[in-house]
Each structure stands twice: as structure tokens, then as C-alpha cells.
Amino acid sequence: MAFLLTWMKSKPVPPERVATDTVFPLHTLDDTNIARSVTLHLSLRYDDVLDVDKLGGALQRLLEKPGWRKLGARLRRGEGGKLEYHMPAKYTKERPAIDLSHVSHDMPMAEHAQGCKLPRSSGSIQMSKNASLYRTLLVSDDSPTQLDDWLYSDRPQLHLHVVSFTDATLVTVTWLHVLFDIMGAGILLSAWTAMLEGREDDVPEFHGFDSDPLATLGAPIDETQLGDASQVEEYVYENRVVSGWKMLRWVLGFMWELLVYRQEETRCVVLPAALFKKLKSEALEELSSIDPMAMVTDKSNRPFLSDGDVLCAFLTRLIVSSQPWLPSARPTKTIQVMNIFGMRPLLTETSPKLLPKGVAYVANCSTSISSFFPLHEFLSLPLGHVAARIRSDLVVQSTRPQIDANMRLSRATMAKTGGHPPLYGDADMLLASFTNWTKSKLFETDFKGAVIVTSGKAEGGHVVGKPTAIFGDATTKGFSVRNSGNCVGRDQDGNWWLGACLRAETWRNLERALDGIR
């Protein structure tokens, strides 16, 4: 009985409801099992000393603007377990719009025990150390890391942590994935810089404050305005949904991997501009040996590959080729490359138009594009051929009818499974996801309005007020991002910053592979 009473007393209790708070539900694409399980930490390194009060003040003023106030709301669990926002009628010192913490070190960053471990571009390909070696430098001890940290406190959605050195500043923004995706983060950073520079008129209207603009996306056909239902497309991979015992086998296989090989690491890879230029040039040349019908061409009818196509092919192939189990794998084992696709432009430009032009949609607005390869083909094809397949799949699956079909199937599956999205492919496949953050323009986040002292460095890509390095990190609960990779973007020198979460042994193999590329 004493134990039971102790357990009951220790059970967290959510804060009492504040009668003056405005309450509204989360959007459909925000309140998902995956988004609930992932806390994101976006860290920007500036080789300048920044004024913390100016940085925090500009962000707080942004969140006082109409619509933008939503980003300071408190997260609560409502009826049926659904999440909802409770927005204070007024932000005060006791209930601020943001959490702000600041640590100052009276030394250059290079002399700090963890600061010296932070990766930076050097002109050659390199791989960073495990992010755990410097994670406590980038985030505060009080930084939230899971859903419960918000539910059982009265903390706002955004946590801003600033670390100052005598020659540099680290700025980290932490949020639960239900708030917005990485493109939403880019929109927030752009509006933040406008406030910092006194350009309030440049802050776009906040769209989707208390209603869901994407509520009809993926709705059953009879609830949409798509016209003749016979003209509605089926999703191209609808017949490859993994279900039943196949789903059970895939889940057990992935769980076994996580239980037996528990240690996983998040690291970044810096790809020099010259090396990437060579990789892309060779990839385009390799298209001369591919079936013209399998290629995507530009307006001049020339073979086309985007930078993202090449980077996706390059990184995912590195991840797959470095897997410790590779020597014993079946040559026909399925490899799925899951390319995350931002939907904002498509939903702005195609009918029915769900997002107006020129507004800020700071929420989750992405889906996935799938490419399938047999293992032997994925590793043996020229890089350009793999990139061309990824580009072709993106073109086919990113049409409005296909996005509608994909989202319709996703919504129906989540309704049946309690929030789990559909999985496509085979029971024993490797799923390697890739997210390209380049269009969020993170490296253009200009904080020169807060610069106190510049390092005076004229080389190494240093532009006063712009980041010289960006680190993406995540903490998860009940979910793993293992075998996922991302492209953070391109710095001022043209170097590409890539990242991934892999098991430790995979990273050791990948490092050897990078040594062969150098």
C-alpha cells in the first residue's frame, strides 16, 4: 500500500487550466505519433559575439504579433488523448512567449573542452565526432527532450539557448516536432531576423492560427471537391503497403536491431564544394548510358539532376554500403529510399489551393517520396543512375493527384492503426530516409542586427552575422530515426553539411569509406 501511494504521488500532474487561455486543437499533420516522439534541436554557430537581449527580444516581439502568438501557446492533452494548445491572453514574465537561457564563457570557443570538438569546414571532406560529446554545450540542462516535458509544465513551445564565447556565439532553438517541420523553422528564422532588423512590415501574415488549412487534404473522396471520383488516382505504391504478418516481421526486425545494437550516434559530414562539383559532374555524365525514357530533362531537353538528388543518392548509398550486416545480406534485399517532400509550394500552386501565396504556414507540411532498389542494384549502379531514379520517382509522385492519393491512404491507415502511417515495401527491407533542408535557407539566417563584436576573420566562409556551421540534432522517445540522413544546407563557401543517425559500427565503416573518397 505504501508503494502504491508513493507511485501515485510521483505521477506527474498537468498544470491547472487557466480560464483566460484560448484553446484550440492541433492540425491533422501536426498531432501524429511520430511528431509527438521527436524533439528537434537546431543549433547555429556564429563567429561573432551576439547580443542575447536583442536576439531574445526580437523573437519575443515576433510572438506578440497576431497569429504568431500561437507559437508561444502551452501544450496540453485534451479529450480522447488529442493534443491541444492553450494560449495565454497575454505573455508575461511568469508566462513568457519563449523559454530563454544563456551561458557565457570568458574564453575563445577553441579553448573550451566541448567547443573545440564542434565540426567546421576545412576544405576537405570530414566527419564529426558523436554529437553526444558536445550536446550538453548546445542545449541547456533544462531543455525539453520529450512530450511530457511540455505536458506537465507550463513551458512555452520554443526553447532558445544561447552560449557566448569571446569570439563566437551558439544559438539553439528546441521544439517538439508537432509545432512545425524544418521548413517551418526556416520561415520562423526569416521572420525573426526581420524583427531584429526593425523590418516588421516584412513579417508575413501567419496562416492557420486556429483552423487547419489542410483539413481536406487526404479526406475521403466524398468529402472533397475533386469532381468525378472515377478520375481520382490511386497512389502508385498502394499495392506495396506492408501489413499483417509482414508488418509484424518488419517491426520485430527493426526492434531487434535497436535492442541488440543499442548504441547509435548522430554525426555530420562536411562535403567540400570542389568535391561535390566533381560528384555532380560525374553523375550527369553517367546519364549518357541510361534509357532516355527513364530520365527527367530540363526546359532545354537536357538531362536534369538537382543538387538534392545527387546528395540523397550519395548519402543513402554511403549509409547502406556501411551496414555491418551487408556481407551476409541477400542481393535482392529491398532498399527503400524515403525522400521527405515539402508540400507548401504544391498546395499553393495547384487546385484546390489550400495555402495562399505570401503567407507564413508555420506547421508540419510534408510527405514522403519512395524509391525502391534491390540491394545489389543500389550499390552497383553508377551514382548518376541512382540519382536519376530518385528524381524520376519524385516527379511522378509529387503531382497533386498523387499527393492527394498518398495523403488519403495515409489518413485512412492512421485512423485504423491509432496514428501509425502506412509503410511501403517488403517485410525485411532497409528503410533509409533523407531530408533536404536546403530550401529553408538556414545558412542565410542573418543576425547581424545583434552583432556586438565580429571575429574579424575574412576567410573560411565567415560573413558577419551569418552562421558558419549548423547542427541538426534530435532526441526521441518511443521512436528511432536510425538510418535517417539529412542535408542541412550549403554554407557561405559552398560546402555541403550532411548528417545522419546510425549505429556506432556503421559510422566506423562509413568513416573508412570517406577515407577512400578523400
SS3 for 166-213, per residue?
Answer: CCCEEEEEEEECCCCCHHHHHHHHHHHHHHHCCCHHHCCCECCCCCCC
Q: Are residues 493 and 348 in the same domain?
A: yes
In a domain, 121, yes or no: yes
Joined together, the cell numbers standing for residue 71 give 507559437
- When pLDDT is averaged across residues 296-310 and rounded to a whole number, the result is 90
In a domain, 475, yes or no: no
**Which pLDDT score, from 0 to 100, does residue 224 have?**
47
Q: Are residues 296 and 413 in the same domain?
A: yes
In a domain, 89, yes or no: yes
Q: Are residues 194 and 339 in the same domain?
A: no
In a domain, 453, yes or no: no
Q: Which residues contact 81 (CB under 8 A, 6 or more apart)?
A: none
Question: DSSP string of 429-451?
Answer: PEEEEEEE-GGG-GGG---GGGE
Joined together, the cell numbers standing for residue 80 give 480522447
Q: In the chain, how many domains are there?
A: 2
Q: Beta-carbon neighbour count of residue 94 at 10 Å?
A: 7
For residues 515 and 322, the answer to whether their CB atoms sit within 8 Å is no
Whole-angstrom distance, CA of residue 502 vs CA of residue 504:
6
Q: What is the pLDDT of residues 361-405, one digit of tens each?
A: 999 999 999 999 999 999 999 999 999 999 999 999 999 999 999
Phi and psi (nearest 5°) for 376? -60, -35
In a domain, 288, yes or no: yes
Q: Are residues 392 and 283 in the same domain?
A: yes
Q: Which residues pair with 470 in a beta bridge?
A: 44
Q: Are residues 274 and 373 in the same domain?
A: yes
Q: Are residues 367 and 491 in the same domain?
A: yes
Q: What is the pLDDT of residues 444-501, one digit of tens each?
A: 999 999 999 887 554 556 899 999 999 999 999 988 999 999 999 999 999 999 999 9
In a domain, 132, yes or no: yes
* Catalytic annotation, pick one of 161, 177, 385, 462: 177
Q: Would you call 177 a catalytic residue per the annotation?
A: yes
Residue 236 has pLDDT above 70, yes or no: yes
Q: Are residues 259 and 187 in the same domain?
A: no
CATH number, domain containing residue 129: 3.30.559.10
431 or 453, greater pLDDT: 431
**In which band, very low, low, confident or very high, does the pLDDT at 418 lie, cut at 50, 70 and 90?**
confident
Q: What is the pLDDT of residues 123-144, one digit of tens each?
A: 889 999 999 999 999 999 999 9
Tell me how far CA of residue 62 lies from CA of 51, 70, 244, 445, 517, in angstroms.
17, 11, 48, 15, 45
Q: Are residues 180 and 77 in the same domain?
A: yes
Boundary-marking domain end, from 179, 202, 225: 202
Which domain does 405 fall in, by range? 242-439+480-517
**Which pLDDT score, from 0 to 100, does residue 7 have?**
46
**In which band, very low, low, confident or very high, does the pLDDT at 3 lie, cut at 50, 70 and 90?**
very low
In a domain, 487, yes or no: yes
* Catalytic annotation, pick one of 446, 462, 473, 491: 446
Boundary-marking domain end, from 151, 172, 202: 202
**DSSP state, residue 55:** H
HSE of 513, CA atoms in CB hemisphere, 13 A: 18
Q: Would you call 207 a catalytic residue per the annotation?
A: no
Residue 4 has pLDDT above 80, yes or no: no
- When pLDDT is averaged across residues 102-120 and rounded to a whole number, the result is 95
Q: Are residues 111 and 248 in the same domain?
A: no
In a domain, 474, yes or no: no
